[in-house]
């Protein structure tokens, strides 16, 4: 079993290679270590190895880890569906909420961020095709929600996030990644005053392809921490 540092090195070099193929700068890609189901010891090991960005998909689980993990400039990303009764905790603990999938949720987050006296960075989560994921907006909803959310003073939309279907062949996911980039570019053409930069896409088995297609954030769990054991 390779050590965590070896696996981290390996992933970073795959990101660098994908950037070379696509003529991109590796510094434009943020590696998010997805720590769901993993114990604090594993998360702390990652922070000690230099990982700064962590992804969790359940607020309840995340808040047991966020206060105890130590390191400089750590940023926690919420990448799973957010229930409205957890929105306050999410605003308190996360640097970026990637899973905003409705105007209602955005309005609630805006109100809570206002009460907390902050501006909360978010991504809008979209559904690109026939993926099994229940969360996410289609393209028409996206434009509609974007138009409303950009008026909210306590939210800042940084970009788009998606969880495309899991397909054994990473090449088969490429069209989905490309579509997410095209949707972002289309929004930026329509609303050039508030350009979206981030594209959060790509997981353990397909992040190379995602980087080739423009990902600025890749969310990697299994390839860093090993298989997850769900209780
Ligand atoms: C679990 C999860 C990941 C990481 O998946 P791996 O295949 O383990 O890399 C990425 N994104 C989201 C939204 C997840 O829930």
Q: If you take atom 13 of ligand 1, which residue's CA is the nearest one?
A: 79
Locate the ligand 1 atom nearest the alpha carbon of residue 207 and give its number: 9
pLDDT of 5 reads: 96
| Ligand 1 centre distance from Cα of residue 157 (Å) | 22
HSE at residue 112, side-chain half, CA atoms within 13 A, is: 20
Distance from Cα 221 to the centre of ligand 1, integer Å? 6
Task: Please report the pLDDT score of residue 194 as a whole number.
Answer: 87
Distance 203 CA to ligand 1 centre (A): 6
Residue spans of the chain under pLDDT 70: 1, 130-134, 231
Q: Whose CA is nearest to atom 7 of ligand 1?
A: 204
Q: What share of the chain is helix, strand, coil (3-state, %, to 5)?
A: 45, 20, 40
Q: Which of 45, 23, 21, 46 is nearest to 33 (CA)?
A: 46
CATH number of 4-222: 3.20.20.10
pTM of the model: 0.96
CA 58 to ligand 1 centroid distance, Å: 12
Nearest Cα residue to atom 4 of ligand 1: 221
Per-domain residue ranges for the chain?
Answer: 4-222
Contacts of 125 (CB under 8 A, 6+ apart): 98, 99, 100, 101, 135, 136, 137, 160, 161, 162, 163
Calculate the alpha carbon distances from 80 to 14, 55, 60, 122 in Å: 25, 9, 11, 13
């Amino acid at each position: 079993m390779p050590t965590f540092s070896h696996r981290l090195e390996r992933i970073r070099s795959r990101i660098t290679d994908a950037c070379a193929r696509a003529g991109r700068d590796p510094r434009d890609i943020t590696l998010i270590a997805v720590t769901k189901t993993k114990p604090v010891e594993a998360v702390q090991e990652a922070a000690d190895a230099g990982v700064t960005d962590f992804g969790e998909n359940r607020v309840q689980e995340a808040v047991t880890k966020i206060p105890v993990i130590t390191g400089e400039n750590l940023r926690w990303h919420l990448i799973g569906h957010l229930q409205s009764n957890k929105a306050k905790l999410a605003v308190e603990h996360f640097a970026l909420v990637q899973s905003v999938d409705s105007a209602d949720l955005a309005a609630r987050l805006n109100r809570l961020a206002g009460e907390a006296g902050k501006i909360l960075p978010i991504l809008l989560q979209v559904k690109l095709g026939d993926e099994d994921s229940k969360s996410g907006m289609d393209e028409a909803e996206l434009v509609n929600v974007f138009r409303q959310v950009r008026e909210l003073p306590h939210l800042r939309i940084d970009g788009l996030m998606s969880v495309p279907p899991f397909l054994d062949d990473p090449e088969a996911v490429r069209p989905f990644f490309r579509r997410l980039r095209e949707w972002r570019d289309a929004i930026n053409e329509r609303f050039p005053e508030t350009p979206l930069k981030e594209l959060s896409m790509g997981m353990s088995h397909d992040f190379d392809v995602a980087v080739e297609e423009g990902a600025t954030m890749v969310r990697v769990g299994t390839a860093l921490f090993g298989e997850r054991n769900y209780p």
